[in-house]
Structure formats: C-alpha cells, structure tokens
Amino acid sequence: MSLFQAFAEVCDALAATTKKLEKRALMADYLHALPVADAGRAALWLAGSPFAETDGRVLNIGGALLQKAVGQLAGASAEAMGAAYRRYGDFGAAAADLLYGHAPDKAVLTLEDVERGFAALAEARGPAAKLRLLLDLLGRAVPGEAKYLIKLATGDMRTGVKQSLVEEAIAEAWGGGAADVRRASMLLGSLPEVVRLAAEGRLAEARMKLFHPLGFMLASPVQSVDEAVARFTEEIAEETGGDVAGAERVGQEGAPEIGDLPHLPTAGRCGAPDDCSSEGPEQKSAATVPALRAAQLEDKFDGIRAQLHVEPGAEGARVALYSRNRDDLSEAFPELVEAFAGIGEAAILDGEILAWNPAAGATANFGAGRALPFAALQQRLGRKRVTEEMRREVPVVLVVFDALYRAGRLLLEEPLAVRRRELEEFGARWAAETAAIEARGQSRLFGEPDAADFARLMVAGAWQLETADQLDAAYAEARARGNEGVMIKSLASAYQPGRRGLAWLKLKRELATLDVVVTGVEYGNGRRAAVLSDYTFAIRDPEDGSLKNVGKAYSGLTDAEITEMTEFFKAHTVEDFGHFRTVEPVVVLEVAFNNVMRSERHASGFALRFPRILRIRRDKPVEEIDTLARVEEIYHSQPDRPVETQQA
C-alpha cells in the first residue's frame, strides 16, 4: 500500500532544493521503491498533471470551489483564508495550515485512492456534485496531503520540477537512457505507460499513439531584415560547421534540392510567383546571401496554431485538433472535423486555423480565398457549442505548413526539406477531399451566395529566396495580404517539439507586444462598475519562474468579452478583497504599449506606459508568456528610452 503522504513528503523535499541533480535523485529513489502501477501514478503527478496527455479528462475545478471546500472543512471564514493566503502566497500551503486540527491525524489515503478521487471529480457534473466529492477526498487527507491535492487540482505544484526532469528520474530509476525515456514519452503521451515500459526494459517498443498533442516547435522573433539575415546566417553556419557558402543543398539522403522550391524575384510576389518580375538571378541588383539559399520562406498567418491528428476508420476518419496549450479545439471547429473525416491516411500536421473568405481572388499562397483578421475567430473559442449561424458567418480553414507523422512514420527528425515534400504529397492527395461540406458563410457576405465548395485543408505556400531585398519585399506583401509577417526556416532543421531556436525565425515589424498573464482584477467605474474590467498582469522571471507584475490595462476587450471574463474570474478567485481580487494566473493576454519605463511600483522593476489589450490568447499556455528578460530587451532597445529616474 503506497500512501499519498509519502508523495507529499517527496514534493516538500523537491521544493526545498534548487539543485537539479538532487531533485532527480529524490524522484528516482522514490519511484523505484514503489510498485510499478503506483510509480506510474506518482510520476504523472510529479510532473504536475492529474491525468495523462492521452486522457481527455479534466478536473474542471476552480479556485472558488476549492475555497468553499477548505472553508467548510476548516471552519474558516473568507477573511481567515485570505490572511492564510497572504502568509504563504500559495493556496495549497494556506489550506494545509487552516486544516491543522480539523483533518485526520493518521494518513490513510493511497495513491490508488487519489486516482479514483480524481476520476470521480472529472466525471461529476455541476458544482454541487464536485463539492461533495472534494469534501470527501480532502476530508480523508492529512494537512500535508491536502496541500498537494489542491496543488494538483490547480496545476501549480511549485516544486521546481518539469516533465523533462521526471523523465530523467525514470531513466535513473530503471537504467534506461534519458533520450529513450523522452522519446517513449513523446510517442505514448502517458508517463504511467512509460514507467511500465522502463521497468520492463522495453522502452524501444514504444510506438506513436495519435490523439495526444506533440509539443509545437516555436520560432524566435526578429524585428528587421538585417537581424533576420544575421541570426539565420549564424544558425546555418552552426548547421554546416561554418561552411555557409556551401549551404545550397541541405537535408539528409533523399531530401529535395533547395532549387525545388519556387524562387522569389527581387521585386517580390504579385498574385503568384510566376506573375511577378521576370528578372532572373543574374539580373538581381541585391547581393545573394548564401545562408538564405538554405531557407524556406512562408507567410506568418494570424490565426490559431493547431495540430491536426487524423486516423482513418471504417466509418470515416477520427479527427482531432489541438491548440498550443494542448487543449482539444475540435468542438470549436466542427466543420473542420467533418471535412477531414474523408481523409484516408493517418497523419499529424502542424498548421494554423484561419477565418476565411472563400470568395476572394487568387493570392500567392492559394488559388482563391483570403484569410480574415484574427478577431473573426474570437467568438469561436472556448465554446461548447458552435451554432449554424457562427459557421455561416465565419468559415474556417486549416492551413498546414509541416508534416510530423504520416502513414506510420514519425518525421520529426527528418529535415524540413523532406517534411515539406511529404506535406505537399499529402495535400495533393487529400486536400480536395476536404471540400465535401457545404460552402456557406463569408461567401454570401462577399457577393457570391452560390460559391462552390472549397477545400478546408490547404498547404501553405513556400518559396526560396536569395537576397535581403527579396525578404524585405516578401514581408511587405505578406502584410498587404493581411498576414502578420513572414517565417524563415532552415530546410535542414528537424522538428523540435517545444523548442525555440534560430532554425525558425519570425519577422514581424509591429509595435512591441507582450504575452502576459492576469494575476489580479478589479471592478471598473461608471457603466463598468458591476464588471471586472481592469486587469493587472505579469510576466515570468526566468531566474526562479515567479510571476512579476508589469502593468494594468482596462481597454481593448469588448463588452461581451468583459462579461465573459467577469464570470470566469469570479469562479477562479484566489483572494477577494471586495473591489480587487487576486485570481488564478491562467488567462493569457496579448498587450501593446507605447514604451517601457523603470518603476518601483511593480515587482518586475518595469511598467508599461499606456498598455492596452489586443486580444485574449486562448491558444497560448501560461508557460509561454514573455519573460522579464524580454521586457528588459525592449526597454534597452528604445531609442527614446525614458529617463531612468522617471516612475510609472
């Protein structure tokens, strides 16, 4: 019998040390001493998740419900809970303090008991049913156990442990290589399964399971063509061992030559690559940049990054769409699921969901149609039911730009040149099959009510370029098409889930923006006096992972969004001070601002001047918000940087 108390004690020990090797050893010793089934449960929870990635269940428990349960069990008032939270800055630790003298003296909860408790909570519907189950589970826990039950429920363990370190601990516990454990974890999406294979010495038998999202490869931002060329040249030099001039052929055996991509004329693109300037390479005025010949250029779309999983079946393909924060988007875009049901080949593709006007004319990316602004997608996010009216008003497509898995073959380690070929072959075979649903919606708004069906799966255009002038022109034309900018990708690059490097760059010339997380909310004034409309937000300090406030914004959201956020924040309040509330840091915003100033008002040491909310980033996980280092970088890059002594 493996007690949950031992798990809680290990977590306390992990939180007490900052040394990675000590953390790994603590977890390895603990896991190896457990029966394999319990070791699988513990490994999953050490990584901070109540359920495996392949398990679609969620606890769906907000801070308000947890406070209610702890208040009833501890006989504590809201004021007492607020005071405890202020002492610890963590609701799990605060709850443990409040429960002393009100909880059992002897630990009886097993790891299996907790697993059953989580399963029941995930299945329960409605706050009353969930509250009863919470009271039962927390009521059987000693204070130290309650602390980590709450931390698991909120997804905020604060032990300094990431899944990658748990994977290393599994390797240390059973003698497998960390790379083998990490690969099995990526393929299976289930740490309990990985533990079982590691314990049995069968990690090599792990095979890809669809319908758990892989990590998304990320691009590094650049602000100018010169910066893009310099950083990309640096990357290609590293890839080729300094032989930048020889980087005209990349990839492993079987990869296409770079020349297989369409070329960009110096004058840029018009309607399509062949419609632009007819100048040949020898007529271009700008000097060729050798590194750019090892690059693939794409538009950067302004939509929702999505990963498509599709697997054929007797009654149509099973289809799922996942966001960057690994949420299932399928319910928000049912027409894509319906359209892709005709695909007869297993695949995982990386792409972007775009609101779409199918009646627009041809562009350099597609035969017909044009992307609509991101704002058109906002009403589709976070909804359990998408009405026919929404489907008519905002048609959507999935534009794919990478192939991660196809017909039983994982492609992550193949160079982009090979993955691009696989993607184009897939699109040529199946894109037409995705036009099988009725084309309605924006076509009626643009004067063609009887428009023909259009493919809901589209392959993004890709081009070869040689000069910085071409890149500059390509950026301008991408912006003219309503896209955010351009992507520059090394054709030799492997797909690295969750990694951000120089192999992929995104060129965006816009006012500086930051992705931040809301930490506090307060009621507005005047007609907004009854809604939580003013949001304090934070960035992450990379040194210790803590959140540090950097500003407050109250403009940019619609009345409907503010009403929605008010209800959400009431259900996810950590501490209620009346007019102001601290809330669970789960809502990510993209904010713009005029400049960055030094400030003693915020823990970050900076404040944003005239911040305004551009959008709610429902597609972005909290782990990917901007950091204090990024704020400092923006501050020092300002040519009209404020005087150091000026306060916000």
pLDDT of residue 63: 85
pLDDT of residue 235: 84
Residue 566: closest CA among 526, 614, 611, 518 = 518
Residue 202, domain member (yes or no): no
More reliable by pLDDT, 635 or 516: 516
pLDDT of residue 171: 97
For residues 340-369, average pLDDT? 82
Whether 38 and 68 map to the same domain: the answer is yes
What are the tokens at 94? Answer: 């605060």
Whether 330 and 263 map to the same domain: the answer is no
Whether 487 and 535 map to the same domain: the answer is no
Residue 36 pLDDT exceeds 90: yes
Residues 446, 393: Cα–Cα separation, whole Å = 11
Whether 372 and 349 map to the same domain: the answer is yes
pLDDT of residue 269: 38
For residues 492-505, average pLDDT? 90
Residue 150, domain member (yes or no): yes
Residue 32, domain member (yes or no): yes
Whether 255 and 397 map to the same domain: the answer is no
Residue 355, domain member (yes or no): yes
Residue 250 pLDDT exceeds 80: no
Write the CATH number for 584. 2.40.50.140
Residue 436 pLDDT exceeds 80: no
Residue 178 pLDDT exceeds 90: yes
pLDDT of residue 327: 86
pLDDT of residue 307: 97
Whether 96 and 17 map to the same domain: the answer is yes
pLDDT of residue 234: 86
Write the CATH number for 24. 1.10.3260.10
Residue 174, domain member (yes or no): no
For residues 290-307, average pLDDT? 89
Whether 372 and 267 map to the same domain: the answer is no
pLDDT band at 441 (very low <50, low <70, confident <90, very high): very low
pLDDT band at 22 (very low <50, low <70, confident <90, very high): very high
More reliable by pLDDT, 341 or 377: 341
User: For residue 550, how far is the Cα from the chain centroid?
Assistant: 22
Residue 251 pLDDT exceeds 60: no
DSSP percent split of the chain into helix, strand, coil, nearest 5 = 40, 20, 40
* SS3 (DSSP) at 544: coil
Residue 468 pLDDT exceeds 90: no
pLDDT band at 450 (very low <50, low <70, confident <90, very high): very low
Environment class of 12 (CB within 10 Å of its CB; exposed 0-12, middle 13-18, buried 19+): middle
For residues 5-24, average pLDDT? 96
In this structure, the number of other CB atoms found within 10 A of the CB of residue 634 comes to 19
pLDDT of residue 223: 81
Residue 209, domain member (yes or no): no
Whether 125 and 83 map to the same domain: the answer is yes
Whether 499 and 610 map to the same domain: the answer is no
pLDDT of residue 88: 82
> Cα 192–197–199 angle (5° rounding)?
95
Determine the structural domain holding residue 318 and report its residue range: 304-459
Note whether 95 and 145 are within 8 A (CB).
no
Note whether 98 and 74 are within 8 A (CB).
yes
For residues 56-72, average pLDDT? 91
Residue 116 pLDDT exceeds 90: yes
| Average per-residue pLDDT for the chain | 85
pLDDT band at 255 (very low <50, low <70, confident <90, very high): very low
> Cα 547–550–556 angle (5° rounding)?
115
Residue 262 pLDDT exceeds 80: no
* Max mean pLDDT range (235-249, 269-283, 361-375, 454-468): 454-468
pLDDT of residue 446: 42
The answer for residues whose C-beta is within 8 angstroms of residue 269's C-beta and 6 or more apart is 275, 276, 364, 463, 473, 474, 477
Catalytic residues: 300
Residue 446, domain member (yes or no): yes
Token pair 């049901």 is at which residue?
341
Tell me which long-range contacts 425-428 makes (C-beta under 8 A, separation of at least 24).
426/345, 426/347, 426/349, 427/400, 427/457, 427/458, 427/459
* SS3 (DSSP) at 628: helix
For residues 358-376, average pLDDT? 69
In this structure, the number of other CB atoms found within 10 A of the CB of residue 636 comes to 9
pLDDT band at 407 (very low <50, low <70, confident <90, very high): confident
pLDDT band at 261 (very low <50, low <70, confident <90, very high): low
For residues 377-397, average pLDDT? 80
Residue 648, domain member (yes or no): no
pLDDT band at 23 (very low <50, low <70, confident <90, very high): very high
For residues 455-484, average pLDDT? 86
Residue 161 pLDDT exceeds 50: yes
Question: What are the angstrom distances between the C-alpha of 424 and each of 238, 394, 428, 499, 550?
Answer: 28, 27, 6, 24, 44
Q: Is the dihedral of CA 549, 554, 557, 562 positive or negative?
A: positive
Whether 536 and 601 map to the same domain: the answer is yes
Residue 396 pLDDT exceeds 60: yes
To which H or E segment does residue 461 belong? none
Q: How many residues make up the chain in this entry?
A: 648
Number of domains in the chain: 4
Write the CATH number for 340. 3.30.470.30
pLDDT of residue 254: 39
Whether 451 and 312 map to the same domain: the answer is yes
Whether 21 and 135 map to the same domain: the answer is yes
